[in-house]
Chain A
Amino acid sequence: MKYLGFLLVIALTVLLGYAVSIPLGPLPPTVPLLDPNQGFWQNMLSEDELAEEEINLSNLSEPVQVLYDENLIPHIFASNEEDLYRVQGYVTAKHRLWQMEFQTRAAAGRLAEIVGPVALELDRMTRRKGLAFGAELGLKYLQEKDPELLRLVEAYADGVNQYIEELSDARLPLEYKILDYRPEPWSPYKSLLLLKYMSDMLVGDRDLEYSNLRKILGEELLDKLYPQYPQDLDPVIEAGHSWDFTPVSISRPDSISYPSDAIVIDPLPQPEEGVGSNNWAVAGSKTKNGNPILANDPHLSLNLPSLWYSMQLTTPQHSVKGATLPGALGVISGFNEHIAWGVTNATKDARDWYKITFQDENRKAYKYGEEWRPTQFRVEEIHVKGEPVFLDTVVYTHYGPIVYDRTFRSNRQDVNFALKWTAHEGSNEQKTFVLMNKAKNHGDYNAALDNFTAPAQNFVFASKSGDIAMRIQGKFPLKWEDQGKFFMDGADPKMEWQTYIPNEQNPSTLNPQRAFVSSANQHPVDQSYPYYVFDNSYEHYRNRRLNNRLREMSDITVEHMMALQFDDYYLHAAEALPVMLDLLGDHQSSNDKAKKYLKELKDWDFYADPGQKAPTLFYVWWNKTFNQIWQSWHEFGVPVVTPSNYTTVQLLKNEPEGPVFDSEKTAALETASDHVRKGFDEMLEAMINWENEEGDYAWANYKRTSIQHLVPQFRPFSVQNVFTGGGSGILNATSGRHGASWRMVVELGDEIKAFGIYPGGQSGNPGSKFYKNFITKWANGEYLNFDLRTPGDNGSVLFQTTFKSNP
C-alpha cells in the first residue's frame, strides 16, 4: 500500500512537472512562461532596473564606457573601432535581440521554422528571390576584397554572441518565451542579410503588370497613361543641372521581341504605397544663424519594436550619433562633429525579369543565343515547425534565380521567369556606413558612397564647413530606352544589361544655386540626364510641396524644419478637389447630408490635421472616384497596375470628355463627370454608414494610424489609433500603417544642435517602460535632444556601464 501510494504520487509529480514543460497544442510550455523567476513576469523589469555597473566582455583591447541618457540611448566611448563595434553588437543585442534575429530569419526565408506552415509560402518566395544568395555573395566579397571591414563585422557579431551566451532564462526576450524557441548565434553573414532585407523592403518593379498592359492597351495608350516624365516635374537633382561628363554610349537593339502572352502569375509583393522618405538640406545663406540645416525622415512600415535604434558611437577619432539598424554596424542616418547625412529611397527599376526557355524537362540547360547554357540547382531546405522538412529546388541561370516556374505560382508548365537584381551582386554597403560615420567633408562622403550598390538611395549631405549636397547612389544598369520595363526574352542576348552607369556619372549636385537640396522619392533627374530613367512609383506630390516651401522660405531655423517634417498640407487634394467639385456640378444638391459634406469640403484649407473632417471626405470621395474610373483595369483578369493619382487628376482636368472615361460595356458615352458623381454617391453612402457605426469621422479616427508588433498576432503589444495627422503623399507621410519611422533635424553650427524622434522606444521588450515611450511625442511632432555627448557629461544620465575585458 505504501509503495503504491508513493509510486502514484511520484508518477503524478513527474507527469505534471513534464506536462508543464512542453507545448500544449499551440500554447507555449506553461511553467517556463509563468514561473515568476524565469517566465514572462521577469520581462516587466525595465532596463534601468537591471542596470549593471560593470560587464566582462572578452576580446576588448581597452575598457569601454557606455552611458545611457534618460531615454535609454546608449553613448559608447571606445578607444578604437573594433572595441566600438564589439560593444555596439553587445548593447544592441541586449535591447533588440529578438527583433534582429527575427528580421534576419525573415530575410533568410526561415520563418516557418518558428511559426509553422503558415509561413511556408512566404519563405519559399523569399528564398526564390535569392536574398540569402545575395548575402552569401556579399560575405564572399568581404572575405576576398575587404578583410579589414570583415574584422569589424566579426567584432560586432562577437559582441552579439557574447550577450547570447550569457543570456539567462529570465532575461530571454518575451517573444522567445511565447513562441518557444531560443536565439541562434549571430554571424557577419546575418549582418549582411539584414541589409538585403532592407533592399527587399524598398525595391519593387512592375514589369509583369507593364507587360500585360502593353499587350492590352498598346504602346501609345500605355505611354499616355504612364508617362516617363510628369508635366509638373520637380526632380531630386535640380532641373537644369548641367552634367559635366561624357556619357557612355548604349545602343537600342533594332528589333525587340517581347514574350507576347499575357501573364497570369501572382506578382511579387511590392513595397506598400506610402513607403518612401523625405530628406533635404538648406545652405547657410537661407538660414537664420547662417549654418546649414539637414533634415531626414524615412517613411516605412510602422512597427514595434521600432526598426531604428538610436546610439552615439565615439572613438578618439570620431563621434557619430543618429539612427542605427539593429544588426548592422554604425549609424545609418545621422551626424558627427563635421557632417550630417540622411537617406531616402531612390527607386529605379532595379529588378528585371527574363523568360527562360529550357532545353528539356530536366531543366539542366537553357537557351541563350545559339547555345544552350547549363543551369545550377540550389536546393532550399525549409524547416517547418511541426512538419517534415520542405525541399524546394530553385534553378539558377546567369541572370539570377528562376522565381516563377512550374512548382511556384504558375499554373503553366512552360512559364519560367528569372530575376535579375543588383542585390544579387557582391557588394559592400556596410562599408559605406562605417566610412560615412567618420567622414569629415564632401570628399569623404563621396568616397563612402562609392561602395554602395543597393537599395539605391538619395544621400543628402551637409557639412559644418558650409557645403550641402545630394547624390543618388546605387549600382544602376545602363539601359536602353524601355529596357526592363517589360518582361524580356532571356534567350536573346540583346536583352542583357550591357554595363553599369559609372559611379561618378550617377546624378549628384553640390551647393546648387537655389541654396537647398532635397529628395522625396520623385524622379531623380529631368530629361537632360543622358541615361534612361524609369520607375512606376515616383512621387508627384511630396516633392513639389517640399520644394515650393523650401524655395519660398528664408531665415530658416531648426523649428521651421521640424514644422516642415510635420507638414500636413494635402497637395493632391488641393489640386484634385476643385476639379472634382467642378465636375460634380449640382449633383445631389438637394440632399442635406451631401450639402453638409460639401460645405466641409469647400471650407477646407487642405491640411490633413488629425481633428479635421474634410480630409476623410476627400480621401473617400477620391478613392471611390478613382475606382470608378479604372474599374475595367480590375476586369482584365491579369495583374496590372492602375495609372497614378497624379495622372488621373491630369486627365480629369484636361480631358474630362476623353475616351479613357468611357466604358466599352455601356452604349452611353461616359465622361469624367459621371465617375465623379458616382464616386460622390458612394462616398455619401460610405460616410453615412461610418457615422452610424463609428461616429466621428475626423481624419485621425478614420485613418487609424497603428504601430504594429512585428508579429501581427501579438496585438496587445501594438499601439492602435494614434492621434496624428498626415497621410500618403503628404510631407508628414503618416497613413494607417506607414509613416515617418525616424525624424531628424541637425543644424551644423560651431556647436552642432541635433534633434530626433521615432515612433517606438529604445527597448525591444514590450514589458519595459522604454518600449513605446516616444510615441506620444512623435505623434505630436515633438523631438528629443540628440546633441553629441562627451564622456564626462553627466547631465540626465540613466545609468552607466563599463565593459572590461577578462584579464
Chain B
Amino acid sequence: MKFISILVLSTLIVVFVSPFLTYWMIMVLLGILSFVLKPGKWAAFWGGGLGMGLSWLGQSYYLSASTGSALPAQMADLMQLGSSIYLFIITGVLGFLLGALASLSGALLRNLLKRKPNNIYKGTIY
C-alpha cells in the first residue's frame, strides 16, 4: 500500500515540481516524502525509483513524440550511442537510481529516528 502511495506521489512531484527545481532538490523532496510516509525499505526504493525513472522516461518520450524533433537521434549520434533508444533508457535508469536512493535515504532516516522501546519490562520497579 505504502509502495503505491510513494509511487504516485513521487511521480506527481517529478512531473509537476521539476520544471521549477533542479534534480537534486527533487531528490530532497522524495527523501522527505519517504520520511513522512514511513514506507518499508523496499517500498521506498521501488516507489521512489519507479516514480522518478518512469516519469523521466515518460517525459522524454512525450516531448519527443509531441515535437517530432530529430534531436534525440542527433544527440545519440553525437554521443556515439548508435541509437536514440539508448538515450531514453539512460535517462530512465538515471531517474530510477536517483529517485530510488533519495527515497530510500528518507525511509532509512525515519527508521533511525523511530523511538526505541527503552523499557522492555513494562511498569516501574521502585
CB-defined contacts of B24 to chain A, threshold 8 Å: 17, 21
Beta-carbon contact of B69 and A769 below 8 Å: yes
CB-CB under 8 A for A170 and B19, given A2-B111, A766-B71: yes
Stretch at the interface among B3-11, B98-106, B117-125: B98-106
CB-defined contacts of A767 to chain B, threshold 8 Å: 67, 69-71, 74
Beta-carbon contact of A9 and B94 below 8 Å: no
CB-defined contacts of B102 to chain A, threshold 8 Å: 13, 17
A243 lies within 8 A of chain B by Cβ: no
CB-defined contacts of B98 to chain A, threshold 8 Å: 13, 16-17, 20, 31
A506 lies within 8 A of chain B by Cβ: no
Cβ distance A198 to chain B, nearest Cβ, rounded Å: 29
CB-defined contacts of B112 to chain A, threshold 8 Å: 2-3, 6
CB-CB under 8 A for A13 and B56, given A37-B18, A44-B63: no
CB-defined contacts of A37 to chain B, threshold 8 Å: 18-19, 23, 59
Alpha-carbon distance A38/B111, docked complex (angstroms): 33
Size bracket of the B interface: 35 or more
Cβ distance B96 to chain A, nearest Cβ, rounded Å: 11
Within residues 687 to 718 of chain A, which ones have a CB less than 8 A from any CB in chain B? 714-717
CB-defined contacts of B27 to chain A, threshold 8 Å: 13, 17
CB-CB under 8 A for A36 and B59, given A714-B78, A715-B78: yes
* CB < 8 Å A-B pair total: 115
CB-CB under 8 A for A36 and B94, given A2-B112, A10-B109, A716-B75: no
Cβ distance A174 to chain B, nearest Cβ, rounded Å: 8
CB-CB under 8 A for A38 and B23, given A2-B112, A9-B108, A766-B74: yes
CB-CB under 8 A for A44 and B67, given A13-B105, A34-B90, A38-B22: yes
A647 lies within 8 A of chain B by Cβ: no
Alpha-carbon distance A246/B71, docked complex (angstroms): 62
Beta-carbon contact of B104 and A9 below 8 Å: yes
Beta-carbon contact of A34 and B91 below 8 Å: yes
CB-defined contacts of B18 to chain A, threshold 8 Å: 35-38
A46 lies within 8 A of chain B by Cβ: yes
Beta-carbon contact of A45 and B63 below 8 Å: yes
Alpha-carbon distance A381/B87, docked complex (angstroms): 39
Q: Mark each residue of chain B from 65 to 84: 1 if its CB lies under 8 Å from any CB of chain A, else 0.
A: 00111111111011100000
Cβ distance A761 to chain B, nearest Cβ, rounded Å: 13
Beta-carbon contact of A716 and B63 below 8 Å: no
Is the contact region of chain A dominated by helix, strand, or loop, or is it mixed?
helix
A232 lies within 8 A of chain B by Cβ: no
CB-defined contacts of B91 to chain A, threshold 8 Å: 34-36, 41
Which chain A residue shows the least CB distance to B74? A716
Beta-carbon contact of B67 and A35 below 8 Å: no
A49 lies within 8 A of chain B by Cβ: yes
Beta-carbon contact of B94 and A20 below 8 Å: yes
A42 lies within 8 A of chain B by Cβ: yes
Alpha-carbon distance A189/B52, docked complex (angstroms): 45
B37 lies within 8 A of chain A by Cβ: no
B97 lies within 8 A of chain A by Cβ: yes
CB-defined contacts of B74 to chain A, threshold 8 Å: 716-717, 766-767
Cβ distance B53 to chain A, nearest Cβ, rounded Å: 11
Alpha-carbon distance A790/B30, docked complex (angstroms): 52
Which chain A residue shows the least CB distance to B108? A6
Within residues 755 to 807 of chain A, which ones have a CB less than 8 A from any CB in chain B? 766-769
A256 lies within 8 A of chain B by Cβ: no
Beta-carbon contact of A44 and B78 below 8 Å: no
CB-CB under 8 A for A768 and B78, given A6-B112, A36-B91: no
Alpha-carbon distance A6/B109, docked complex (angstroms): 6
Cβ distance B60 to chain A, nearest Cβ, rounded Å: 4
CB-defined contacts of B75 to chain A, threshold 8 Å: 40, 716
Alpha-carbon distance A5/B45, docked complex (angstroms): 14
What 10 new A-B contacts, CB under 8 Å, besides A16-B101, A34-B91, A716-B78? A6-B108, A6-B109, A13-B104, A17-B23, A34-B90, A35-B56, A41-B71, A41-B72, A44-B71, A767-B74
Which residues of chain A have a CB within 8 Å of any CB of chain B? Answer: 2-3, 5-6, 9-10, 12-13, 16-17, 20-21, 27, 30-32, 34-38, 40-46, 49, 169-170, 174, 178, 714-717, 766-769
Which residues of chain B have a CB within 8 Å of any CB of chain A? Answer: 18-19, 22-24, 27, 31, 56, 59-60, 63-64, 67-75, 77-79, 87, 90-91, 94, 97-98, 101-102, 104-105, 108-109, 111-112
